[in-house]
Amino acid sequence: MAAFAAWVESTWISKALFGISWLWPASESLHFIGLCMLIGGAGLLDLRLMGMFRGLHIRHIKALMPWAMAGFVINAVTGALFLVMQPHLYLTSAVWWSKVTFLVIAGLNAALFETRLAVPALAMHPDADTPRQLKIVGAVSLFSWFAVLYCGRMLPYLGTGN
């Protein structure tokens, strides 16, 4: 991984991007904004799946998901920029790989919801409590996103990150 990171860092694209002085701080700001959009939108859906916010139709909350997704895309793009600019900070960091693991968990969990559970969930009465599997899916999602945030923010201070 260290060799691969060194190779990425030697490419012209990595050097060119890292040479743009404002790109790193601007990407950081966007990364923070994206995380608020993602956790705000997805978080409300997660809480409703967990049985809170009765009175809210799950179908109506889902209208927020394109905005949560937009936040995710902002963070995927800015995250990719960090990775290309300074790969050695991430690829050799166990904390970063933990972050990736929680991202995968959040993604698989969302896919499980969309493919197996969404149809009955969207049809639920707004005041109804949610069945156990939806509570688990909501809790896993909420936990994973905060774990992603935690790993990302702690990355410079834990493990091999700089």
Partner 1 sequence: MAFFQRLQTSAFTDWFLGSPSIWAYPTVLTLHTVGMAILVGASFVINLRVLQVSGLIPLHRLQPLYRFIWIGFAVNLASGLILFVTEAADRVVDPVFYVKLGSIAVALVLAVVVKRRSLQPAGAPQVASVQMRSLAAASLGMWTIAIVAGRLMAYLKK
Which residues are near partner 1 by CB under 8 A? 25, 28-29, 32-33, 35-37, 39-41, 43-44, 52-53, 55-57, 59-61, 63-64, 67, 146, 149-150, 153-154, 156-158
Instruction: Tell me how far, at minimum, the Cβ of 4 lies from partner 1, in Å.
Output: 27
Give whichever of 97 and 150 is closer to partner 1, judged by the CB atom.
Answer: 150
Instruction: Tell me how far, at minimum, the Cβ of 25 lies from partner 1, in Å.
Output: 6
- For 8, other C-beta atoms within 10 Å of its C-beta total 17
Quote the tokens at residue 61: 């909350």
- For 103, other C-beta atoms within 10 Å of its C-beta total 20
CA nearest to 28, candidates 83, 75, 96, 98: 75
Give whichever of 8 and 154 is closer to partner 1, judged by the CB atom.
Answer: 154
Burial of 22 (C-beta count, 10 Å sphere; 0-12/13-18/19+):
exposed
Give whichever of 40 and 120 is closer to partner 1, judged by the CB atom.
Answer: 40
Give whichever of 88 and 153 is closer to partner 1, judged by the CB atom.
Answer: 153
